[in-house]
Amino acid sequence: MSSVLQVQGLSATYGFSRRSPRVLDDVSMSVMQGQTMGVVGESGSGKSTLAKVIVGTLAAASGTVTVEGVDVMHARGAQRRALRRSVQMIPQDPYASLDPRMTIGRTLLEALAPNGGRPAQHRDRIVELLGLVALDASAADRFPHSFSGGQRQRVAIARAIAVQPKLLIADEVTSALDASIQFEILDLLDRLQDELGFGCVFITHNLGVAARMCDDITVMRHGRVVEQGHISLLAEPADSYTRILVSSVPDPGGLFLEGPSAYDATPST
């Protein structure tokens, strides 16, 4: 198994002044092919900032991010274009990220052929992608507003996997959905990962979801990693902050149980 993502000693701020607070401070992690690294921690702990640095939309103050050995912050030209395909992000709110004036077919076509392509040429692949996310082929001719939230998230996933990414960044991808729909989307992501083998950074507030989805986990607080390791550490955290997170779950004993009830494990803080 090879590593898709290596994050080493990452620090980041949003300001240019030396006094700007560090939003990420010495964060490191590694994600193997076909594996999922969960990232949990209270609001403002830097989870989405980490996602931004990994996808290359925010420059780090120090440290490195490499995807399949390519340095994200220094990639140029063909390497940069390749990275744009190999690292894909699934947004929290697919409605905001889907163009309301574009049919789903058009949206997928733009993902497949960003420099312009004829729909006929990509028709089969578009139908295949819709099938992969369990949407009917007729979805290609419909507009985003005619789908439910869960279906729109399926479209966003289809768009993300269209270019056969090596790494998927999922930032709170199911937090806006009902528990039952959440279950379907998580199942879908799991199945696609088995089929396609991408590595995944899975950001969530919900420890039940993390326990269900992730192989490893990184617990963050104030931009720092407080605990990291195999997901089973949630059953017996070494760090006091992780213990607080786990104890705020209504049924910590149920964290590693199968089934939708585990998804009710949103911390009450």
Ligand X SMILES: Nc1ncnc2c1ncn2[C@@H]1O[C@H](COP(=O)(O)OP(=O)(O)OP(=O)(O)O)[C@@H](O)[C@H]1O
Interface residue list for Mg ion (CB under 5 A): 47-48
Q: Least CB distance from residue 245 to ligand X, whole Å?
A: 12
Token pair 């009830």 in the structure block, residue? 261
* Contact partner at residue 49 from Mg ion, ligand X, none, CB < 5 to 8 Å by partner kind: ligand X
Question: Does the footprint of ligand X cover residue 47 (CB under 6 A)?
Answer: yes
Cβ neighbours, 10 Å, residue 96: 8
| Interaction of residue 235 with ligand X, rule CB under 6 A | no
> If binding is defined by CB under 6 A, does position 23 make contact with ligand X?
yes
Q: Which amino acid does the sequence have at 72?
A: V
Nearer to ligand X, 16 or 76 (CB): 16
Q: State the Cα–Cα distance between residues 4 and 83, nearest whole angstrom.
A: 12
Among 45, 88, 153, 218, binds ligand X (CB under 6 A): 45
- End-to-end CA distance of the chain, in Å? 37
**Smallest distance from the beta carbon of 43 to ligand X, in angstroms?**
3
| Residue 17 near ligand X by CB under 6 A | no
The dihedral region occupied by 197, where left means phi > 0, alpha psi between -120 and 50, and beta the remainder, is: left
For Mg ion, the closer CB: 91 or 252 = 91
Contact region with ligand X (CB under 6 A), list: 40-48, 142-150, 248-256, 261-269: 40-48
| CB atoms near residue 57 (< 10 Å) | 9
DSSP, res 56: T
Q: Which does 38 bind (CB under 5 to 8 A by kind): ligand X, Mg ion, none?
A: none
What minimum distance in Å lies between the beta carbon of 232 and Mg ion? 25
CA–CA distance from 108 to each of 116, 165, 252 (Å)? 12, 14, 40
- Name every residue whose Cβ is closer than 8 Å to that of residue 118 and which is 6 or more positions away in sequence: none
Which residues are at the interface with ligand X (CB under 6 A)?
A: 14, 23, 41, 43-49, 205
